Amino acid sequence: MTAAVARHPKARLQICYDERAAAFYALGYARATGLPALLICTSGTAVANYLPAVIEASVDHLPMLICSADRPPELEQCGANQSIPQTHLFGHHARWFFDIPCPTESIAPQFVLTTLAQALHRATGPFAGPVHLNWRFREPLVPVESPISPDYTEPLAQWWKDSQPWTMYAHAQAQGLPALPPTLFASVVRAVRGVLVLGRMPVWWDRTPILRLAGRLGWPLFADIGSGVRLGMQPSQRILSFDGLLRDPRWRASSKPDLILHLGGPLVAKHFLSYLEEHPDTPYVAVHEHPERLDPTHQVQTRLACHPSAFAESLCALLSVDIAERSQEWLRSWQEADQSYLRHVRETLDLDDLHEPAIAFDISRLIPKEHALFVGNSMPIRDLDRFADGFGHAVPLAANRGASGIDGLLASALGFVAGSRTKGTLLIGDLSLIHDLNSLILLKQSRIPLVIVVLNNHGGGIFRFLPVARFEDIFQRCFTTPHDISIAPIAQSIGISAAQVTSRSAFRDTYREATHALQPVLIEVFTHTDRNMAFYQALHAHTITPFTS
């Protein structure tokens, strides 16, 4: 398999040093392109290392195609070297598994081609995700010519000349606009205090119909950082600080909506869930293309399994009357509260203090428009979601929010930037980067122009914000897991340019310069959880006037 790909004139090959990173790289590539990278590995624990990325791909419906090599059946479970049972290794995390027998002329070659076509369909189809093909081989395991009778491949004569799969699968569902339930249309038209929520969406989706719908409805718009509508200048209905406002119990209670329309995946913003729980009788409609439940508070009343853009188009086509006007007052109240909150955020951020929300804000302002942005889990994604400026560039952004692991983030960022065929920035916490240190070697070898901004607060800063922080005997040792490691020297030892900064102005200058580099750069920012906490406390001191109209 390796020889076939390495010698193929059209294949782009990425050699990875460990399989866990390889799978995360493939995941990041799929996030950028919507296409599955082909993962090839040997038998044994090698393939097991794909599991974390397979889980993320499964949860977030990203295509992934795994081709593991395996020993022949007579060498399974008998002590033969590097042989483990690989059948259904990924359990229900794989959309499809197939055990492909050792090559033999007694099986028609069309079998291989229909298997591949099915694998591709199951990986990329309407319910996309990881597919595992387990290929068994007998020795010799090297690409030597083996005698094949001339008429064996005869039935494939036409297929060799084409570039199409043997079986073409048509996605019937993807064609045409979905028919909307009449009751749904009626409740949209009736709603005066509607809220439009945009969750996580793949970067390759066309958002034009969704933005058109946002304009037609004229409702407050809550856009998640992964929606593609949170960064840059976007619709005037967007309420940048909705999570901050919804944190306030009085605002939550007083701003009762009469319909919530949620397009795409879940949100990073935690207080949106509290808002839902505060108003259990508000009709809540969720639209996503896959059929799975997206309802952690168990309140969704109508769930449409169709593409949000197609849904938006259908709804716009039905909305002949201008309904935005009747929601003007409702929208204005949200916008005024938003402006007041944002003024307070900017005043607090402008103090030139070095803390993590400030770095997230600075990146959103300074990132060049030709960069792709990958964001680590824990506090980086939360800080960017809350404090990203609305005046930066609307760069493509991705994060591993399916299962929210802190593993494989550098490898995922590399795959994302490679798939985007551009430069990139990764914002990541220190523990997350330590989890994926191997991928610094992948970065060095691949020379992908990535700027890594690592926030070194010497452990897991998020735990300071969680109730476990009160339990002093276990908090530091078992949760924060403190360390005194500096990451820049590790990167330098591998041959990656790296800088350390301890002030906000030094960060801005270093980051600006790094984004112009043609090679990878790591910027280690030393931050302190006390300062992060102080910023949040100053922010929470802001008084939000309850909703009045």
Ligand X SMILES: Cc1ncc(C[n+]2csc(CCOP(=O)(O)OP(=O)(O)O)c2C)c(N)n1
- Whose CA is closest to 217, among 229, 209, 205? 209
Q: Which is nearer to ligand X, 266 or 460 (CB)?
A: 460
Q: Residue 360: name the closest of 344, 345, 340, 341 by CA.
A: 345
> What is the closest distance, in whole angstroms, from the C-beta atom of residue 202 to ligand X in the complex?
22
Minimum CB–partner distance for residue 488 and ligand X (Å) = 15
Q: Nearest approach, Cβ of 435 to ligand X (angstroms)? A: 6
CB of 485 or CB of 517, closer to ligand X: 485
What whole-number distance in Å separates Cα of residue 358 and Cα of residue 143? 55
For ligand X, which is the closer residue by CB, 430 or 524? 430
Q: Which long-range contacts (CB under 8 A, 24 or more apart) does 469-472 make?
A: none
Nearer to ligand X, 385 or 407 (CB): 407
Q: How far is the CB of 378 from ligand X (least distance, A)?
A: 3
Count of alpha carbons within 13 angstroms of residue 281, beta-carbon side: 2
- Nearer to ligand X among residue 229 and residue 431 (C-beta): 431
Residue closest to ligand X when measured from CB atoms: 429
Q: Which is nearer to ligand X, 130 or 460 (CB)?
A: 460
* Ramachandran quadrant class, 43 (left: phi over 0; alpha: psi -120 to 50; beta: rest): beta
CB of 495 to ligand X, least distance (A): 24
Taking the alpha carbons of 12, 13, 19, 24 in that order, is the dihedral positive or negative?
negative
Query: Residues 413, 426: contact at Cβ < 8 Å?
Result: yes
| Beta partners for residue 57, in sequence order | none
C-alpha span between 367 and 348 (Å, rounded): 21
Cα 39 from Cα 56, distance rounded (Å): 15
- Smallest separation (angstroms) from ligand X to the CB of 37: 21
Contacting residues toward ligand X, per CB under 6 A: 377-379, 404-407, 429-432, 457, 460-462
Please identify which residue in the block is written with the tokens 């984004």.
515
Q: Measure Cα distances from 4 to 8, 13, 105, 144, 271 in Å.
A: 6, 11, 19, 12, 51
End-to-end C-alpha distance for the chain, whole angstroms: 66
* Of 119 and 431, CB closest to ligand X: 431
- Cβ at position 381, least distance to ligand X in Å: 9
As a whole number of angstroms, the distance between CA 395 and CA 426 comes to 12
d(CA 147, CA 133): 25
Shortest approach of ligand X to residue 42 CB, angstroms? 24
**Contact (CB, 8 A) for 376 and 268:** no
**Shortest CB 532 distance to ligand X, Å:** 9
CA atoms within a 13 Å half-sphere pointing along the CA-CB vector of 89: 26
d(CA 499, CA 448): 18
C-alpha gyration radius of the chain? 25
Q: Alpha-carbon distance 84 to 42, whole Å? A: 11
Measured from the CB of residue 94, what is the shortest distance to ligand X in angstroms? 20
Choose between 130 and 429: whose C-beta lies nearer to ligand X: 429
CA separation for the pair 130, 144 (Å, rounded): 31
Range list of H helices, 289-438? 308-318, 328-349, 356-366, 379-387, 409-420, 430-435
Chain Cα centroid distance, residue 64: 14
> Which of 229, 217, 255 shows the shortest CA–CA distance to 338?
255
When the beta carbons of 287 and 409 are compared against ligand X, the nearer one is 409
Q: Which is nearer to ligand X, 107 or 466 (CB)?
A: 466
Q: Which is nearer to ligand X, 257 or 380 (CB)?
A: 380
**Minimum gap (Å) between residue 362 Cβ and ligand X:** 16
Give the shortest CB-1-to-ligand X separation in angstroms. Answer: 29
Measured from the CB of residue 429, what is the shortest distance to ligand X in angstroms? Answer: 2
Q: Which is nearer to ligand X, 330 or 416 (CB)?
A: 416
Please, which residue, 20 or 136, has the CB nearer to ligand X? 20
